[in-house]
């Protein structure tokens, strides 16, 4: 069972998210209403996923995300925020968030995002991945000439990973077997000296390797 911690400064919203996740089979091991409590409780219960709001009144969800990820490398943070602003998404990803969901998402969409985040996927609300990649591409003068050389297919798979697609979805999109996709992912991880799909997504964003587009 995936263990989850819910962080939100609004008690009614926090309780609703806790209730929805519990009803869908997740074990909610803790909740918190501010950044300081979020970090302390996360360190105490070590959840698989922290569902993190960005606006926490006296504290910042970005700072809490950074501290949780630094203290608990195996815990993943999924931001759940009312904001869909580029700046907020960028800051959350730079702080170490594995994904970003807007609060207009349904309970089922949240549950799916938590499951995928726990599995190591980078998960974004529709459109946010494209905004994120587009912004970084504008910030880049051009592709990084010092980047390791990837094959055309590895680059194609990296683009889709960075948009939040699962290996199964990538296989269907490219008409490949699931095993072939996983081989491309592992080859790319090795070439880039990275460890998981979340790090691949950050790499793609930071190096402007992926075109913005709809997943």
Looking up residue 77, the CATH number of its domain turns out to be 3.40.50.2300
CATH number for the domain harbouring residue 171: 1.10.10.10
pLDDT along the chain (215 residues), means of 10: 95 95 97 94 97 87 93 94 84 88 93 94 78 56 57 86 86 88 87 83 75 48
Domain end (from 122, 153, 181): 122
Q: Which of 99, 122, 145 is the last residue of a domain?
A: 122
- 132 & 113 share domain: no
Same structural domain for residues 103 and 133? Answer: no
Nearest partner of 95 among 79, 113, 84, judged by Cα? 79
| 14 and 90 together in one domain | yes
Cβ atoms 114, 4 nearer than 8 A: yes
| 169/109 same-domain check | no
Per-residue pLDDT at 90:
83
pLDDT of residue 114: 97
Q: How many domains does the structure of the chain reveal? A: 2
Q: Where are the alpha helices (DSSP H) in 72-166?
A: 86-95, 107-118, 128-139, 152-162
Residues 149 and 206 in one domain: yes
Query: What pLDDT was estimated at residue 214?
Result: 46
The pTM score is: 0.66
The CA distance from 93 to 4, in Å, is 19
Could you list the residue range(s) of the whole structural domain that residue 188 is in? 127-214
Q: Which residues contact 33 (CB under 8 A, 6 or more apart)?
A: 7, 8, 9, 11, 14, 56, 57
Q: How much is the pLDDT for 147?
A: 56
* pLDDT at residue 154, as a whole number: 87
């Amino acid at each position: 069972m995936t263990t989850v911690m819910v962080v939100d400064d609004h008690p009614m919203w926090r309780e609703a998210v806790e209730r929805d996740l519990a009803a869908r089979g997740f074990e909610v091991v803790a909740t918190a209403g501010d950044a300081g409590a979020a970090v302390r409780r996360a360190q105490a219960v070590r959840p698989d996923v922290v569902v993190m709001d960005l606006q926490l009144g006296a504290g910042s969800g970005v700072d809490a995300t950074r501290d949780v990820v630094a203290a608990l490398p195996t815990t993943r943070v999924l931001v759940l925020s009312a904001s869909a602003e580029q700046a907020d998404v960028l800051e959350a990803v730079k702080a170490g968030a594995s994904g970003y969901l807007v609060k207009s998402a349904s309970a089922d969409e949240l549950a799916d995002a938590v499951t995928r985040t726990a599995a190591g996927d980078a998960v974004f609300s529709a459109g946010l991945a494209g905004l994120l990649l587009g912004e970084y591409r504008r910030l880049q003068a051009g592709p990084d000439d010092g980047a390791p050389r990837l094959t055309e297919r590895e680059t194609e798979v990296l683009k889709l990973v960075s948009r939040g697609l699962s290996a199964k979805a990538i296989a269907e999109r490219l008409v490949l077997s699931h095993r072939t996709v996983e081989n491309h992912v592992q080859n790319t991880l090795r070439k880039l000296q990275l460890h998981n799909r979340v790090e691949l997504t950050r790499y793609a964003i930071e190096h402007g390797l992926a075109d913005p587009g709809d997943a």
